[in-house]
Amino acid sequence: MKVSGKWMLMVGVLVSVGIGSAQKAVAEMSKWNVDHDHSTIGFQVAHMVVSKTNGKFTEYTGVVEMDPEAMEFESIEAMIQTESVTTDHQKRDEHLRSPDFFDVKAFPTMTYKMKSYKKTEENYTAVGELTLLGVTKEITLEGSFNGVAQDPWGNTRAGFTAEGTINRKDFGMKFSKLLDNGGLVVGDEVTIKLEIEVIKEKTIEKVKQ
């Protein structure tokens, strides 16, 4: 069967458009770094049943690959220094750093890596792997993408809010004491609370020769 030159030209144009669209989609995925000064990696746990104690980590790094216009994500990864845990109480923080809890000398970091996510209207459900005390478990985070803004210094910023729960004993954090009424001094369920701000990594354009 003889194929006309006009038909071949049309096929060539369609292929070129398809390749160009694919390249554009890849190019739109950009790298964003977590802004340590405007983010919070926090947690909350029940204390003696009647109240909740809040804490956070102050040293960490994180990278997000995303297309904010399409609100699509390629990857989210973070590394947290466990020794940076703080609840604004020195004696309690020292206990948290001990082998009873984070065992920071043996396990100086914990990591998170997103595996998949699902978008529902304006919210997201992300499934990822959390590695803590040498144990890796899947965790689910529910959150929202809060938008993009330009700061006065020429940076592009974006924000996220997310929350999820884990059972600390699933990771081998088994310290436990019972009250007289049978309740736990420290609860097993820990709520993760994230307020994350990221800055788009600037690219260096090649100078045309």
Q: How many CB atoms lie within 10 A of CB 171?
A: 20
pLDDT tens digit sequence for 79-135: 999 999 999 989 989 999 999 999 999 999 999 999 999 998 779 999 999 999 999
Q: Is residue 65 one of the residues assigned to a domain? A: yes
Q: Is residue 128 one of the residues assigned to a domain? A: yes
Q: Is residue 75 one of the residues assigned to a domain? A: yes
Question: What are the structure tokens assigned to 80, written together?
Answer: 């947290």
d(CA 43, CA 121): 26
Determine the structural domain holding residue 96 and report its residue range: 29-200
Q: Is residue 70 one of the residues assigned to a domain? A: yes
Q: Is residue 4 one of the residues assigned to a domain? A: no
Name which residue leads in pLDDT, 185 or 84.
Answer: 84
Identify the CA nearest to 143 among candidates 110, 118, 111, 168. 118
pLDDT tens digit sequence for 120-176: 877 999 999 999 999 999 999 999 999 999 999 999 999 999 999 999 999 999 877
Beta strands in 58-181 (DSSP E): 60-67, 72-81, 85-86, 109-120, 123-132, 135-150, 156-167
Identify the residue whose tokens are 């030159």: 5
Question: What are the structure tokens assigned to 87, written together?
Answer: 């609840």
Q: How many CB atoms lie within 10 A of CB 61?
A: 13
Residue 26 has pLDDT above 70, yes or no: no
First to last CA, the chain: 46
Report the pLDDT averaged over residues 3-8. 48
d(CA 93, CA 88): 8
Q: Is residue 33 one of the residues assigned to a domain? A: yes
Would you say the C-alpha torsion 176, 177, 183, 185 has a positive or negative sign?
Answer: negative
Q: Is residue 146 one of the residues assigned to a domain? A: yes
Give this prediction's pTM: 0.80
* CATH number where 116 lies: 2.40.128.110
> What total of structural domains would you count in the chain?
1
Q: Is residue 13 one of the residues assigned to a domain? A: no
> What was the pLDDT predicted at 76?
96
Identify the residue whose tokens are 């005390």: 133
pLDDT tens digit sequence for 43-53: 998 854 456 88
